[in-house]
Each structure stands twice: as C-alpha cells, then as structure tokens.
Structure 1
Amino acid sequence: MTAELWDVSRLRFAETAPPVLTAAQRTTMDHGWAAAVRANPALFDGPVAALTGFERDDAGGLSVSWTRLTYRFRVLRGLPDAPAVASLFVAVLQPCDDGRLLVGRMSSTTSAPGRWQPPGGTLEPPGDGAALDLDALRVHAARELAEETGSDAPADALVAGPVVRGARGTLGFLFSAPPRPARELRERHAELARAEIASGVDPEFDRVLLIGSLSELRSLPGPLASYLELAAGRFFGA
C-alpha cells in the first residue's frame, strides 16, 4: 500500500466497541508489548483512538469508525487473524515566513527513532461525553505542535487540510499552522528541548529543520513518514 492524500469535504466519526481478542491473541500482544518496553522503557501504554474502518462517498465525505484502545494493540499488526485496527493521527504543517516547512526527527526513545515527520502524533480518545470531531482534532493537533516544537499556535488558527492514508493503513488529519519567523521556530524548539532535557525527559524531536523543496526533503538522512513527501509536495505546489 502506498500513501495517499484525500481532499475531504465532510467528516463524520462513529465510536465502535473494542475488538474481541482470543486468549492466544491477548497473550501474544502482552508478551510482545513487554518485549518492546524492555527494548525501549520510554514506551507508554496510553489510550489511543484507533481506526476500525472508514467509508468514502462520491461527494467527498469520509465516515470514520474508531474505538478506544491502548498502544499495546500495535503489537497485533501482521498477526494472522488478528482484528484489523490501525492508528489515527494528526499532523501539522508549520511553515516559516520565507516559505520553508518545518520537519522534525524523532528521537531514539520514541516509537519511530530517526524518522522525519511533521509535528503531530497518535490521536487520543476524547473524554467521557465529549465528541470526536474536527474541533477535537484541531485541539489535539495544536497540543502536539506545542509539545514537539514549542510553537504555540492556537487551535482555532489551524486550517484543516487533506486526510492522509498512510502506507500501513493509518489515517491522518493534516492541518496548516500560520507562518512563523524561521529564527522563532528554531529558538522555540531549542528552548523546549533544553527544558525537557533538564527535567530528565528526551524531546520527541531531537532535531528540527526547515526545508525549502522536495529535493531537500528527499536528501534528509534517515527514513521519512510514509505520507511526508506527498504532504510536502502539496505544500510546495509540486
């Protein structure tokens, strides 16, 4: 499967019950998660909103079915006969005022060390009684942007963009942030990284760069998020 970008005119979410696992599947999942944590103790089995299905219509609408799980369900990927679930995520295209685009490299303690991607992250489920909708996605995207780069764009300043179908079946929601001066973007990330390291926490991005073209993106040392080239191509008008 290759990554795709979809322009969506209408977005609907419907919560579904979590998948039922057999005893063998649950044991495999728990053992696999324990092994992953031994390899990377920074992993956290926190709550996630996971994709269980979607449907597109001819009018540009997208209906998304989701359920409440935790990160350990990722261990089931590729396991024969395991329930089909995938990640939902948000990502923010943060430009600077000279037309370049910010990308970050995931640190060694994250689930994807060395991968270049826009600020963003796995979607968390809303609290009890709260709806999962475009406004909730926008709030989550603004929080991820601040947590990973130190840039404090308000949620209502983020503009919804295309939906991303990732190479591993993930579904992501892109937003664009208002342009910021390049020096400000660099300094805010540096300040955030210093504060986190001083408190004993590894920053999610160990490095950020401002790229000005697809060729610059392709020359980055290390893997790229499966959708990043498509999203950057849209940003640069390629």
Structure 2
Amino acid sequence: MEQQFVLVPGAWLGGWCWKYLHPLLREEGHEVYTPTLTGLGEREHLSHCEVDLETHITDIVNVLEYNDLTDVVLLGHSYAGLVVTGVAERVPERLKHMVYLDALIPMNDDPVSAAEFYPLDEWKTMEAAAEDHAGGWPLPDDHSGWVGISDEDTEWMREKAVPHPLDTFRQQVNVGTPDVSLPTSYILCTQSGMDGSTLDMIRQLCEQREWQLGELDTGHWPMVSIPQQLSHQLLEVH
C-alpha cells in the first residue's frame, strides 16, 4: 500500500541528506517529502536570531497543510524528534505513524528543550561556538555520527552542513497528552555515541510506551551510511 513519508532532518542538515534514501522509498511506490527547516540547507539565507523550535514546527505543519497531506508517516531525525513531537501536538489528525530516528524524545509529559539533553559544560561549549557563528552551532569535528560513512560522503556532508540556529535548542516543546492511538516507532543507531545505559533506557521507554523498536548497527546518520537497511526498517512500520 502506498505511504506518504515526510522526512525531517536533524541539526546542521537539510532535505539534501536523504538523497540515498529518497529513491529507495520512491521505487517501492511511496510518496516522499524531504523538507528543509528554516535556516538550514538551501534555506540557510533565512537564518536569523528569531528562528526557534516553533519556527521549525510550523515549517513542517505547513508542509502537511499546504500539500493537503493526511495519513502521513512522519519521521524526525535527531534534534527533529522534538520538531515532530510538536507537529503531532498541533495536527495529529494528519498523521498515520510517527518515527523517531535516533532522535531526541520527551521522557515524560513535561515540556522539554533540546538543551536539556546536554551536560552543562557541553552546553556552554556549544553556546560559545554559536557566538562565533552568528548564533548558529557549527557541526563539531569530533561528532560520533561519522561511523560507517565513506570519506567521500563525509566530505559531501561537511560541505553541505551549516551552523544550526541554537535558539531552536533553547525553546521547549509542549508535549501535551500523548495520543496513544498514534502508532509510533523508534529506530535506534547503536554506534551513535550513546552509552549502554542510554541505549537501554530508550529500549525500556519503547517497551513501556508500546512503540515499535528497530535497531541499526551504525552511526548517527544511517540515511547516508546504510540507506538500504534504513529503508527496510521504514517499510516495516505499521
């Protein structure tokens, strides 16, 4: 059965990051949307000091509404886990399935920001780096996401990545009351730099919430490192 996928990239990335995954889903007869969030990718020129999490949530809500999309499989990668959480709060009637791809997820029903997932000293380092890049956090050289990615694709990604508007990390998303009727999946990348206790915590959360759990033995950017395996996981969501 044909699905409608909306794939939302994480920090530093744009719709360009799905170039290997997009054709794999299309070949199976599915409709695929790969929007770029404001201030990133080809929309880098729209970056300004007022771009925040709400801006990015509205980006995706507008993609759904202006394209008249319903029964959508909505995927959020990394930081965009909080973006799609906000989208689900605003337009749950347009969604069929939520997919968190190695993503930030609320631990409970309280409002949460991306900044809260980082230790204070690491957050201070991120803020200092953003001050030197007009409020954008540049892609760190030592990011663990490179596991499994070729030298050629590493160069391509570094060339395309842009500093991420850090105010999007400061603003909290209103989680609200989760719609337990909305099927949800989490795809965990086991070599993305998370320690064993964090991996186990995510597994336990998925079990508690009755989410589908898939695991990929790769780094943080499976859409580049192992797109074929990722496509198989996405085609199994229901």
If the length of structure 1 is used for normalisation, what is the TM-score? Answer: 0.25
Structure showing the higher strand proportion among its residues: 1
Bigger CA radius of gyration:
1
If the length of structure 2 is used for normalisation, what is the TM-score? Answer: 0.25
Structure showing the higher helix proportion among its residues: 2
